[in-house]
Structure 1
Protein backbone atom coordinates (compact mmCIF):
# COMPACT_ATOMS: atom_id res chain seq x y z
CA UNK A 1 0.00 0.00 0.00
CA UNK A 2 1.20 3.51 -0.81
CA UNK A 3 1.90 5.63 2.25
CA UNK A 4 -1.04 7.64 3.49
CA UNK A 5 -1.11 11.41 3.43
CA UNK A 6 -2.92 14.20 5.25
CA UNK A 7 -3.92 17.51 3.69
CA UNK A 8 -5.27 20.19 6.05
CA UNK A 9 -7.44 23.01 4.68
CA UNK A 10 -8.64 25.86 6.86
CA UNK A 11 -10.22 29.24 6.32
CA UNK A 12 -12.96 31.53 7.48
CA UNK A 13 -16.65 30.75 7.30
CA UNK A 14 -17.83 30.76 3.67
CA UNK A 15 -14.27 31.29 2.42
CA UNK A 16 -14.54 28.59 -0.27
CA UNK A 17 -12.54 25.99 1.64
CA UNK A 18 -15.05 23.14 1.19
CA UNK A 19 -15.30 23.70 -2.57
CA UNK A 20 -11.51 23.81 -2.80
CA UNK A 21 -11.24 20.63 -0.70
CA UNK A 22 -13.72 18.84 -2.98
CA UNK A 23 -11.75 19.87 -6.09
CA UNK A 24 -8.51 18.72 -4.43
CA UNK A 25 -10.05 15.34 -3.52
CA UNK A 26 -11.32 14.83 -7.09
CA UNK A 27 -7.89 15.77 -8.48
CA UNK A 28 -6.18 13.16 -6.28
CA UNK A 29 -8.79 10.49 -7.06
CA UNK A 30 -8.37 11.08 -10.80
CA UNK A 31 -4.59 10.79 -10.57
CA UNK A 32 -4.64 7.67 -8.39
CA UNK A 33 -7.83 5.91 -9.47
CA UNK A 34 -8.98 5.89 -5.84
CA UNK A 35 -12.55 5.96 -4.51
CA UNK A 36 -13.85 9.36 -3.33
CA UNK A 37 -15.39 9.39 0.15
CA UNK A 38 -17.05 12.25 1.96
CA UNK A 39 -17.09 12.10 5.76
CA UNK A 40 -19.75 14.59 6.82
CA UNK A 41 -19.87 15.64 10.47
CA UNK A 42 -22.73 18.13 10.21
CA UNK A 43 -26.01 17.66 12.02
CA UNK A 44 -29.07 19.53 10.66
CA UNK A 45 -29.74 21.25 13.99
CA UNK A 46 -31.36 24.37 12.50
CA UNK A 47 -32.65 25.59 9.13
CA UNK A 48 -29.35 27.25 8.14
CA UNK A 49 -27.33 24.10 8.86
CA UNK A 50 -29.92 21.97 7.04
CA UNK A 51 -29.61 24.24 3.96
CA UNK A 52 -25.80 24.06 4.06
CA UNK A 53 -25.83 20.26 4.30
CA UNK A 54 -28.31 20.01 1.42
CA UNK A 55 -26.18 22.35 -0.72
CA UNK A 56 -23.07 20.23 -0.14
CA UNK A 57 -25.07 17.09 -1.00
CA UNK A 58 -26.40 18.66 -4.22
CA UNK A 59 -22.90 19.80 -5.19
CA UNK A 60 -21.54 16.26 -4.80
CA UNK A 61 -24.55 14.67 -6.52
CA UNK A 62 -24.19 16.95 -9.55
CA UNK A 63 -20.46 16.38 -9.88
CA UNK A 64 -19.05 14.17 -12.62
CA UNK A 65 -17.12 12.14 -10.07
CA UNK A 66 -18.91 9.66 -7.78
CA UNK A 67 -18.73 10.19 -3.98
CA UNK A 68 -19.52 7.69 -1.24
CA UNK A 69 -20.87 9.63 1.74
CA UNK A 70 -20.53 8.74 5.41
CA UNK A 71 -22.61 10.68 7.94
CA UNK A 72 -20.65 10.43 11.19
CA UNK A 73 -21.12 13.33 13.60
CA UNK A 74 -19.14 11.84 16.53
CA UNK A 75 -16.54 9.12 17.12
CA UNK A 76 -15.28 9.08 13.54
CA UNK A 77 -12.63 6.51 14.42
CA UNK A 78 -15.38 3.88 14.54
CA UNK A 79 -15.55 3.87 10.72
CA UNK A 80 -11.79 3.74 10.07
CA UNK A 81 -11.99 0.06 9.10
CA UNK A 82 -14.33 0.99 6.24
CA UNK A 83 -11.36 2.54 4.40
CA UNK A 84 -8.23 1.23 2.70
CA UNK A 85 -5.33 2.40 0.57
CA UNK A 86 -7.68 2.90 -2.38
CA UNK A 87 -9.66 5.66 -0.64
CA UNK A 88 -9.46 9.44 -0.73
CA UNK A 89 -11.47 10.85 2.18
CA UNK A 90 -12.70 14.39 2.63
CA UNK A 91 -13.55 15.13 6.28
CA UNK A 92 -15.73 18.23 6.58
CA UNK A 93 -15.27 19.61 9.19
CA UNK A 94 -13.22 19.57 12.40
CA UNK A 95 -14.99 22.51 14.05
CA UNK A 96 -18.35 20.76 13.72
CA UNK A 97 -16.88 17.43 14.85
CA UNK A 98 -15.37 19.05 17.96
CA UNK A 99 -18.66 20.80 18.72
CA UNK A 100 -20.58 17.52 18.34
CA UNK A 101 -18.15 15.66 20.59
CA UNK A 102 -18.34 18.33 23.28
CA UNK A 103 -22.12 18.52 23.32
CA UNK A 104 -23.07 14.89 22.60
CA UNK A 105 -23.36 14.10 26.29
CA UNK A 106 -24.19 15.88 29.52
CA UNK A 107 -20.58 15.74 30.76
CA UNK A 108 -19.03 18.32 33.01
CA UNK A 109 -16.31 20.10 31.06
CA UNK A 110 -13.48 19.21 33.42
CA UNK A 111 -9.90 18.77 32.18
CA UNK A 112 -10.24 14.98 31.90
CA UNK A 113 -13.33 15.25 29.69
CA UNK A 114 -11.78 17.96 27.51
CA UNK A 115 -8.56 15.97 27.03
CA UNK A 116 -10.60 12.86 26.17
CA UNK A 117 -12.60 14.78 23.55
CA UNK A 118 -9.44 16.24 22.00
CA UNK A 119 -7.78 12.82 21.88
CA UNK A 120 -10.92 11.23 20.37
CA UNK A 121 -10.90 13.77 17.54
CA UNK A 122 -7.16 13.39 16.89
CA UNK A 123 -7.21 9.59 17.22
CA UNK A 124 -10.22 9.32 14.91
CA UNK A 125 -8.56 11.39 12.20
CA UNK A 126 -5.26 9.52 12.61
CA UNK A 127 -6.99 6.12 12.46
CA UNK A 128 -8.67 7.04 9.19
CA UNK A 129 -5.47 8.53 7.78
CA UNK A 130 -3.56 5.33 8.54
CA UNK A 131 -6.09 3.26 6.59
CA UNK A 132 -6.67 5.55 3.58
CA UNK A 133 -4.57 6.76 0.67
CA UNK A 134 -5.29 10.41 1.48
CA UNK A 135 -7.41 12.25 4.01
CA UNK A 136 -8.26 15.88 3.41
CA UNK A 137 -9.35 17.56 6.62
CA UNK A 138 -11.33 20.82 6.51
CA UNK A 139 -11.68 23.17 9.47
CA UNK A 140 -12.72 26.73 10.21
CA UNK A 141 -10.36 29.47 11.26
CA UNK A 142 -12.29 30.81 14.24
CA UNK A 143 -9.27 31.71 16.35
CA UNK A 144 -8.52 35.10 14.79
CA UNK A 145 -10.86 36.96 17.12
CA UNK A 146 -10.33 37.51 20.86
CA UNK A 147 -11.94 34.76 22.92
CA UNK A 148 -12.28 36.79 26.09
CA UNK A 149 -15.31 37.02 28.31
CA UNK A 150 -16.81 33.58 27.76
CA UNK A 151 -15.18 30.54 29.36
CA UNK A 152 -17.04 28.13 27.06
CA UNK A 153 -15.84 29.92 23.91
CA UNK A 154 -12.30 30.18 25.30
CA UNK A 155 -12.22 26.44 26.11
CA UNK A 156 -13.54 25.54 22.66
CA UNK A 157 -10.96 27.81 21.00
CA UNK A 158 -8.13 26.34 23.08
CA UNK A 159 -9.09 22.76 22.10
CA UNK A 160 -9.55 23.67 18.45
CA UNK A 161 -6.19 25.43 18.41
CA UNK A 162 -4.47 22.34 19.86
CA UNK A 163 -6.16 20.10 17.28
CA UNK A 164 -5.16 22.47 14.45
CA UNK A 165 -1.55 22.51 15.64
CA UNK A 166 -1.46 18.71 15.65
CA UNK A 167 -3.00 18.49 12.16
CA UNK A 168 -0.61 21.08 10.71
CA UNK A 169 2.36 19.21 12.20
CA UNK A 170 1.19 15.90 10.68
CA UNK A 171 0.07 17.26 7.30
CA UNK A 172 2.14 17.15 4.14
CA UNK A 173 0.14 20.05 2.70
CA UNK A 174 -1.66 22.87 4.51
CA UNK A 175 -3.83 25.47 2.80
CA UNK A 176 -5.48 28.61 4.12
CA UNK A 177 -8.40 29.63 1.89
CA UNK A 178 -9.20 33.33 1.80
CA UNK A 179 -12.03 34.64 -0.41
CA UNK A 180 -11.86 31.50 -2.54
CA UNK A 181 -8.09 31.68 -3.02
CA UNK A 182 -6.06 28.78 -1.57
CA UNK A 183 -2.76 29.89 -0.06
CA UNK A 184 -0.14 27.20 0.55
CA UNK A 185 0.99 27.43 4.18
CA UNK A 186 3.03 24.22 4.27
CA UNK A 187 4.34 21.82 1.65
CA UNK A 188 4.83 22.00 -2.08
CA UNK A 189 2.13 21.53 -4.72
CA UNK A 190 2.73 20.30 -8.26
Structure 2
Protein backbone atom coordinates (compact mmCIF):
# COMPACT_ATOMS: atom_id res chain seq x y z
CA UNK A 1 0.00 0.00 0.00
CA UNK A 2 1.39 3.41 -0.95
CA UNK A 3 2.06 5.91 1.80
CA UNK A 4 -0.78 8.26 2.49
CA UNK A 5 -0.53 12.00 2.28
CA UNK A 6 1.02 14.03 5.10
CA UNK A 7 0.18 17.71 5.52
CA UNK A 8 2.20 19.72 8.05
CA UNK A 9 0.78 22.98 9.44
CA UNK A 10 2.60 25.26 11.86
CA UNK A 11 1.99 28.70 13.23
CA UNK A 12 2.21 30.78 16.36
CA UNK A 13 -0.15 30.57 19.30
CA UNK A 14 -3.68 31.61 18.27
CA UNK A 15 -2.57 32.00 14.64
CA UNK A 16 -5.52 30.04 13.24
CA UNK A 17 -3.52 26.91 12.42
CA UNK A 18 -5.99 24.48 14.04
CA UNK A 19 -8.96 26.08 12.29
CA UNK A 20 -7.08 25.91 8.98
CA UNK A 21 -6.24 22.23 9.61
CA UNK A 22 -9.88 21.44 10.37
CA UNK A 23 -10.95 23.26 7.19
CA UNK A 24 -8.55 21.14 5.10
CA UNK A 25 -9.81 17.95 6.75
CA UNK A 26 -13.44 18.91 6.08
CA UNK A 27 -12.69 19.76 2.43
CA UNK A 28 -10.96 16.40 1.97
CA UNK A 29 -13.93 14.60 3.52
CA UNK A 30 -16.33 16.44 1.18
CA UNK A 31 -14.23 15.64 -1.88
CA UNK A 32 -13.16 12.08 -1.13
CA UNK A 33 -15.28 10.77 1.71
CA UNK A 34 -13.65 9.04 4.63
CA UNK A 35 -13.95 9.19 8.39
CA UNK A 36 -12.80 12.39 10.09
CA UNK A 37 -10.58 11.69 13.09
CA UNK A 38 -9.25 14.17 15.61
CA UNK A 39 -6.16 12.89 17.44
CA UNK A 40 -5.93 15.17 20.47
CA UNK A 41 -2.69 15.26 22.44
CA UNK A 42 -3.71 17.90 25.00
CA UNK A 43 -4.05 17.19 28.68
CA UNK A 44 -6.50 19.39 30.63
CA UNK A 45 -3.83 20.42 33.14
CA UNK A 46 -5.31 23.82 34.04
CA UNK A 47 -8.46 25.88 33.52
CA UNK A 48 -7.22 27.56 30.33
CA UNK A 49 -6.33 24.22 28.74
CA UNK A 50 -9.69 22.70 29.79
CA UNK A 51 -11.48 25.64 28.15
CA UNK A 52 -9.43 25.32 24.94
CA UNK A 53 -10.13 21.58 24.73
CA UNK A 54 -13.85 22.13 25.34
CA UNK A 55 -13.97 24.85 22.66
CA UNK A 56 -12.33 22.57 20.09
CA UNK A 57 -14.78 19.78 21.01
CA UNK A 58 -17.80 22.10 20.66
CA UNK A 59 -16.54 23.39 17.31
CA UNK A 60 -16.21 19.85 15.94
CA UNK A 61 -19.59 18.77 17.31
CA UNK A 62 -21.34 21.78 15.75
CA UNK A 63 -20.29 20.90 12.20
CA UNK A 64 -22.10 18.93 9.54
CA UNK A 65 -19.47 16.20 9.50
CA UNK A 66 -19.00 13.83 12.41
CA UNK A 67 -15.53 13.65 13.95
CA UNK A 68 -14.26 10.66 15.88
CA UNK A 69 -12.01 11.99 18.65
CA UNK A 70 -9.16 9.94 20.05
CA UNK A 71 -7.19 11.31 22.95
CA UNK A 72 -3.61 10.13 23.20
CA UNK A 73 -1.21 12.38 25.06
CA UNK A 74 1.85 10.15 24.60
CA UNK A 75 3.14 7.35 22.39
CA UNK A 76 0.67 7.87 19.57
CA UNK A 77 2.03 4.75 17.87
CA UNK A 78 -0.10 2.73 20.32
CA UNK A 79 -3.30 3.79 18.52
CA UNK A 80 -2.13 3.45 14.91
CA UNK A 81 -4.15 0.25 14.57
CA UNK A 82 -7.39 2.25 15.03
CA UNK A 83 -6.98 3.84 11.60
CA UNK A 84 -7.51 2.60 8.06
CA UNK A 85 -6.98 3.78 4.49
CA UNK A 86 -10.27 5.74 4.47
CA UNK A 87 -9.39 7.88 7.49
CA UNK A 88 -8.59 11.57 7.46
CA UNK A 89 -6.72 12.30 10.66
CA UNK A 90 -5.92 15.64 12.26
CA UNK A 91 -3.19 15.40 14.91
CA UNK A 92 -3.25 18.47 17.15
CA UNK A 93 -0.52 19.11 18.18
CA UNK A 94 3.14 18.10 17.99
CA UNK A 95 4.32 20.67 20.53
CA UNK A 96 1.93 19.34 23.15
CA UNK A 97 2.90 15.78 22.27
CA UNK A 98 6.58 16.70 22.66
CA UNK A 99 5.88 18.32 26.05
CA UNK A 100 4.03 15.22 27.19
CA UNK A 101 6.81 12.88 26.04
CA UNK A 102 9.60 14.98 27.57
CA UNK A 103 7.97 15.52 30.93
CA UNK A 104 6.28 12.13 31.38
CA UNK A 105 9.44 10.33 32.37
CA UNK A 106 11.78 11.27 35.13
CA UNK A 107 14.73 11.13 32.76
CA UNK A 108 17.95 13.01 32.41
CA UNK A 109 17.63 15.35 29.45
CA UNK A 110 20.56 14.20 27.36
CA UNK A 111 21.10 13.43 23.68
CA UNK A 112 20.07 9.79 24.10
CA UNK A 113 16.76 10.76 25.71
CA UNK A 114 16.11 13.42 23.04
CA UNK A 115 16.83 10.90 20.29
CA UNK A 116 14.41 8.39 21.85
CA UNK A 117 11.67 11.01 22.19
CA UNK A 118 12.11 12.16 18.59
CA UNK A 119 12.02 8.55 17.37
CA UNK A 120 8.88 7.83 19.40
CA UNK A 121 7.07 10.83 17.92
CA UNK A 122 8.22 10.43 14.31
CA UNK A 123 7.62 6.67 14.28
CA UNK A 124 4.12 7.20 15.63
CA UNK A 125 3.35 9.85 13.02
CA UNK A 126 4.69 7.73 10.15
CA UNK A 127 2.82 4.61 11.28
CA UNK A 128 -0.44 6.53 11.54
CA UNK A 129 0.16 8.23 8.19
CA UNK A 130 0.83 4.87 6.51
CA UNK A 131 -2.53 3.52 7.67
CA UNK A 132 -4.59 6.59 6.73
CA UNK A 133 -5.79 8.38 3.64
CA UNK A 134 -4.44 11.71 4.91
CA UNK A 135 -2.71 12.76 8.11
CA UNK A 136 -2.72 16.48 8.94
CA UNK A 137 -0.18 17.39 11.62
CA UNK A 138 -0.40 20.68 13.52
CA UNK A 139 2.47 22.21 15.49
CA UNK A 140 3.38 25.52 17.12
CA UNK A 141 6.05 27.83 15.78
CA UNK A 142 8.02 28.82 18.86
CA UNK A 143 11.18 30.03 17.19
CA UNK A 144 10.40 33.75 17.17
CA UNK A 145 11.17 34.05 20.88
CA UNK A 146 14.61 34.06 22.49
CA UNK A 147 15.50 30.64 23.84
CA UNK A 148 19.15 31.16 24.75
CA UNK A 149 18.45 32.34 28.30
CA UNK A 150 17.29 28.95 29.60
CA UNK A 151 18.93 25.58 28.87
CA UNK A 152 15.64 23.71 29.23
CA UNK A 153 13.85 26.02 26.79
CA UNK A 154 16.81 25.90 24.39
CA UNK A 155 16.82 22.07 24.43
CA UNK A 156 13.07 22.01 23.85
CA UNK A 157 13.36 24.43 20.92
CA UNK A 158 16.21 22.42 19.42
CA UNK A 159 14.32 19.13 19.48
CA UNK A 160 11.12 20.77 18.20
CA UNK A 161 13.09 22.34 15.34
CA UNK A 162 14.52 18.94 14.40
CA UNK A 163 11.03 17.41 14.52
CA UNK A 164 9.67 20.16 12.27
CA UNK A 165 12.48 19.61 9.78
CA UNK A 166 11.82 15.86 9.67
CA UNK A 167 8.08 16.35 9.29
CA UNK A 168 8.40 18.97 6.54
CA UNK A 169 10.88 16.75 4.69
CA UNK A 170 8.38 13.87 4.82
CA UNK A 171 5.30 16.01 4.16
CA UNK A 172 3.54 16.32 0.83
CA UNK A 173 2.44 19.83 1.79
CA UNK A 174 3.57 22.27 4.48
CA UNK A 175 1.89 25.49 5.56
CA UNK A 176 2.77 28.31 7.92
CA UNK A 177 -0.28 30.14 9.30
CA UNK A 178 0.21 33.79 10.27
CA UNK A 179 -2.73 35.87 11.56
CA UNK A 180 -5.21 33.41 10.09
CA UNK A 181 -3.58 33.42 6.65
CA UNK A 182 -2.02 30.14 5.46
CA UNK A 183 1.23 30.45 3.54
CA UNK A 184 2.05 27.44 1.37
CA UNK A 185 5.66 26.52 2.14
CA UNK A 186 5.86 23.17 0.30
CA UNK A 187 3.76 21.27 -2.20
CA UNK A 188 4.66 18.08 -4.03
3-state SS in 2 of match to 1:137:
strand
Structure 1: tracts of 5 or more residues without a match? none
Structure 2: tracts of 5 or more residues without a match? none
3-state SS in 2 of match to 1:146:
coil
Q: For residue 147 of structure 1, what is the aligned residue in structure 2?
A: 147
Q: For residue 75 of structure 1, what is the aligned residue in structure 2?
A: 75
TM-score of the two chains, using structure 1 as the length reference: 0.96
- Aligned mates of 2:56, 2:15 — CA distance in 1: 14
3-state SS in 1 of match to 2:57:
helix
Q: For residue 171 of structure 2, what is the aligned residue in structure 1?
A: 171
- The reply on whether 1:91 has 2:91 as its aligned counterpart is yes
- Aligned mates of 1:126, 1:144 — CA distance in 2: 28
Q: For residue 58 of structure 1, what is the aligned residue in structure 2?
A: 58
TM-score of the two chains, using structure 2 as the length reference: 0.97
Question: Stretches of 4+ moved more than 2 A in 1?
Answer: none
User: Contact (CA 8 Å) 1:37, 1:67: kept in 2 or not?
Assistant: yes
Alignment deviations for residues 106-125 of structure 1 (CA, whole Å, 9 cap, x no partner): 11112111110111011110
Q: For residue 124 of structure 1, what is the aligned residue in structure 2?
A: 124
- Aligned mates of 1:2, 1:29 — CA distance in 2: 19
Q: For residue 102 of structure 1, what is the aligned residue in structure 2?
A: 102
User: Contact (CA 8 Å) 2:88, 2:134: kept in 1 or not?
Assistant: yes
Aligned length in residues: 188
Alignment deviations for residues 142-179 of structure 1 (CA, whole Å, 9 cap, x no partner): 01222111010000000000000001101111111111
User: Contact (CA 8 Å) 1:29, 1:35: kept in 2 or not?
Assistant: yes
- Aligned mates of 1:177, 1:16 — CA distance in 2: 7
- Aligned mates of 1:111, 1:183 — CA distance in 2: 33
